[in-house]
Amino acid sequence: MDKTMKPEFTNLFDLAAEKLGGTTLDCSDDFFASVDNLIKEGRGIFIPDKYTDHGKWMDGWESRRKRDEGHDWCIVKLATEGVIKGVDIDTNHFLGNHPPYASLEATNMSGKLPKSIEWVEIVPKSPLEPGEHNFYEVTDDNSWTHLRLNIFPDGGVARLKVYGEVSKDWSGYDEEVDLASAINGARAIGCNDMFFSHMNNLLMPRKGKDMGDGWETKRNRTPNNVDWVIIGLASKGSISKVMLDTKHFKGNYPDRFSLDGCVAKDDTNFEVDDVDWIEFLPPTKLSPDHEHEFEKEIVALGPFTHVRLNIYPDGGVSRLRLYGTIAS
């Protein structure tokens, strides 16, 4: 795979991300740098003169120099069960201490991991470049819950990104659910602008940690401008409650917002195809740094497969929750 360009699968959610709910469970060794760093945001930073009692501080997972047989490994629990489309074993800032090779194995199970696990190889032993994104496509269509990253024989990896699609079986499910949650399988499909921060942040399960952890557009001076983002719901469903959070957005929150819904196929080109949008929450005033809830204001329940969030004229939104029931 051409590592000079980001592959298409990097547009999917990182199922291993700590921000989404991923966790590290175990590793063979993390003497120099904690395995927990593997699933943090970004690519990792480098501070030239920062040291610990164990040696150079590194923003990643780094094992000591191996003096016996074997190789180092770590186990990551995905935020939610999913089909993996590709991975990035990122060695950013690891130059003389990166592993020459790595492989990735997967399993699907619930509860605590037993001592004996049947792992399936999804990325074979492959070379790693130092200080680079190392992208590998995954062609296995099975659904997984846990991964084991093997590095040969030792060394440091800055981040492990696991790009994929959430697997959920909604058959027979009749309880209220957040149809706009990434952890349930919702996706941010497209928007007209995300200059300051990414549209995917709208769907994250936890509250926004700062102003960068939301969807924020640039200042638009066009009269009557409307910025928008389209969300593919976790499943076709009827929406009975809306929560829109402008947390941390104080001088740059939108003046108003509205919500439209439609029924469309996943491969619909919303900017070209004729889509029948239905306004189910009309333009409504917003307040800064505030969690807004709406129920009686909803004028059409759906069901919908996709929702368009419109903000007037521009600004930032931290989170969007769309609570409802799955359509039979």
What value does the mean pLDDT of the chain take? 96
* pLDDT (0 to 100) of residue 77: 98
* pLDDT (0 to 100) of residue 255: 98
* pLDDT (0 to 100) of residue 328: 80
Output the pTM of the full model.
0.92
Sequence spans of domains, the chain: 8-166, 177-326
SS3 (DSSP) at 11: helix
78-96 tens-digit pLDDT:
999 999 999 999 999 999 9
Q: Are 104 and 150 in contact (CB under 8 A)?
A: yes
Residue 2 has pLDDT above 80, yes or no: no
Write the class of the CATH domain 8-166. Answer: mainly beta
98-135 tens-digit pLDDT:
999 999 999 999 988 888 999 999 999 999 999 999 99
- The DSSP secondary structure of 73-136, one letter per residue, reads EEEEEEEEEEEEEEEEEE-TT-SSS--SEEEEEEE---SSPPSS---EEEEEEEE--TTS--EE
236-285 tens-digit pLDDT:
999 999 999 999 999 999 999 999 999 999 888 998 888 999 999 999 99
* The domains spanning 8-166 and 177-326 adopt the same CATH topology: yes
149-188 tens-digit pLDDT:
999 999 999 999 999 999 999 988 999 999 999 999 999 9
* pLDDT (0 to 100) of residue 202: 98
195-230 tens-digit pLDDT:
999 999 999 999 999 999 999 999 999 999 999 999
Q: Which residues contact 16 (CB under 8 A, 6 or more apart)?
A: 22, 38, 39, 76, 78, 79, 147, 160, 161, 162
Fold observed for domain 177-326: Jelly Rolls (2.60.120)
DSSP 8-state class, residue 175: S
Q: What percent of the chain has pLDDT over 70?
A: 99
Cα separation, 196 vs 310, whole angstroms? 17
* pLDDT (0 to 100) of residue 4: 59
- pLDDT grade for 3, boundaries at 50, 70 and 90: low
Cα separation, 33 vs 316, whole angstroms? 35
* pLDDT (0 to 100) of residue 75: 98
Cα separation, 85 vs 98, whole angstroms? 24
Q: One-letter amino acid identity for 306?
A: H
Question: Residue 262: what are its φ and ψ, rounded to 5°?
Answer: -155, 170
DSSP 8-state class, residue 197: B
Q: How deeply is 223 buried, as exposed, middle or buried, from its count of CB atoms within 10 A (0-12, 13-18, 19+)?
A: exposed
**Can the peptide bond before residue 114 be classed as cis, meaning omega within 30 degrees of 0?**
no
Cα separation, 306 vs 263, whole angstroms? 6
* pLDDT (0 to 100) of residue 113: 87
